[in-house]
Amino acid sequence: MGLLVVGSIALDSVATPFGETADAPGGSAVFFSAAGAILHNPVQVVGVVGSDYPWDALRQLEARGVDLTGVERAPGESFRWKARYSYDLASRETLETRLGVFAAFRPRLPERFRSARYVFLGNIDPELQLGVLDQVRDPALVACDTMNYWIHSKKDLLLELLRHIDILMVNDSEARELSGDWNIYRAAQWILSRGPTMTVIKQGEHGALLVEAQSVFKVPAYPLQEVFDPTGAGDAFAGGFMGYLAKTGDRSPANLRRAMVYGAAMGSFAVEKFGIQGFEGVTLADVRARVRGFKELVHFEVEP
C-alpha cells in the first residue's frame, strides 16, 4: 500500500543536557519516513530543501526505502530550527526558526504518489494540507498533525480540513487549545464531532491515546532509563503508526491498537539518540521485540 508523507525537511540544532547537534537532518517528513520505512517501504516524501541541504543525509534515507522523488530543491536556505531542552527534557525553548525555502513551499505530488493509500499530512499550513488532499486520488486513510500556531491563525481552514481526514494526531496541549476543553477525553470527542473518526493524542513521556466515539486505547511510553533527545518523537510515532497500517493494510480495531504500539516503539527509538540516529541499524525484528516489551509493560489478567 502506498504510504505518503508531506511535511518539513529541516536542519535542526538541538541542545540537551547530554550534548548538542548542529544542522542535523530533521523535520516532520524526515522523522516520519526514517521511522516508517523500517516497517513499510517505500515511504514517499513530499517536501522542499534549500540549495544548502546536505543531500547525502537524505541519500542515506533513500537507501533505507525512502522515495525522495517528491523532494523539491529550491534556491535559497533550508528550513532551520534551533532549540534547547531543560535539564529533565520535560520542556524546550525554541531559540530560532528560519523558514527559508519552506516559506514558499507549495506541495506538488509526483504522478505516482497520487495513488498513495496511506497519507500523513505533517504539521504545515492547513491550506497546504488541503491542497495535498486534492492531489491524492483515493486515500484509504488520512492522518494529520497540526500545531498551536495554525489553531490560532487558520482555525477555519483547520476545521475545514478536519472534515476530510480520518485521524487528527496532535499532542495534548494542542487538543486542549483546539477544543477549548482542558479534559483530554472531552477534547478528543470534540475533535471527533468535527469529522475525524479517530483522535490520536500524543502525551510525550506518558505515551499516547487513540480515541474513537465508543472506545479509548492507551499505550504508555516505553520505560527508558536513558533519553537523549525528544525531538521528532511525535513524527516517529506517526511514521510507526502509519507504516504499520500501510504494511498490514488492515484497519480493524485490533490492528489500529497494534499500530499505536508500533508508533510508540518508533517514538522510543527516536528519543534514545540525537535526531534520526536512533533509527540507524534498527530492524523489523528489533521493533517487534520492543512491541513485545510493551505487551509485558501493560499486561495483566482479570481474575475469572
Measured N-to-C along each axis, helices 28-39 and 253-272 cross at an angle, to the nearest 10 degrees, of 120
In the bound complex, what is the minimum distance in angstroms from residue 291's beta carbon to a copy of itself? 6
CB closer to a copy of itself out of 156 and 226: 226
CB closer to a copy of itself out of 130 and 187: 187
CB closer to a copy of itself out of 15 and 128: 15
144 in Cβ contact with 127 (< 8 Å): no
In the bound complex, what is the minimum distance in angstroms from residue 153's beta carbon to a copy of itself? 24
In the bound complex, what is the minimum distance in angstroms from residue 144's beta carbon to a copy of itself? 23
Among residues 149, 113, 150, which one has the least CA distance to residue 132? 113
Distance CA 235, CA 30 (A): 8
In the bound complex, what is the minimum distance in angstroms from residue 270's beta carbon to a copy of itself? 17
Distance CA 241, CA 238 (A): 5
CB closer to a copy of itself out of 80 and 290: 290
CB closer to a copy of itself out of 1 and 217: 217
CB closer to a copy of itself out of 191 and 260: 260
Cis amide prior to 42 (ω within 30 degrees): yes
Distance CA 284, CA 247 (A): 12
CA distances from residue 194 to 117, 146, 162, 197, 213 in whole angstroms, order as listed? 22, 15, 6, 9, 12
In the bound complex, what is the minimum distance in angstroms from residue 52's beta carbon to a copy of itself? 37
In the bound complex, what is the minimum distance in angstroms from residue 167's beta carbon to a copy of itself? 17
In the bound complex, what is the minimum distance in angstroms from residue 185's beta carbon to a copy of itself? 5
5 in Cβ contact with 66 (< 8 Å): no
Place of cell 531542552: 85
**Which amino acid does the sequence have at 127?**
E
114 in Cβ contact with 137 (< 8 Å): yes
In 131-190, the DSSP E strands lie at 141-144, 167-171
- Beta strand 215-219 pairing with 92-98: unpaired
Phi and psi torsions of 204, nearest 5°: 55, -125
CB closer to a copy of itself out of 115 and 248: 248
Residues that bind a copy of itself (CB under 8 A): 87-88, 182-183, 185-186, 189, 203, 206-207, 209, 215-220, 223-227, 254, 257-258, 260-261, 288, 291-292, 295-303
In the bound complex, what is the minimum distance in angstroms from residue 214's beta carbon to a copy of itself? 11
DSSP state of 204: G
CB closer to a copy of itself out of 52 and 212: 212
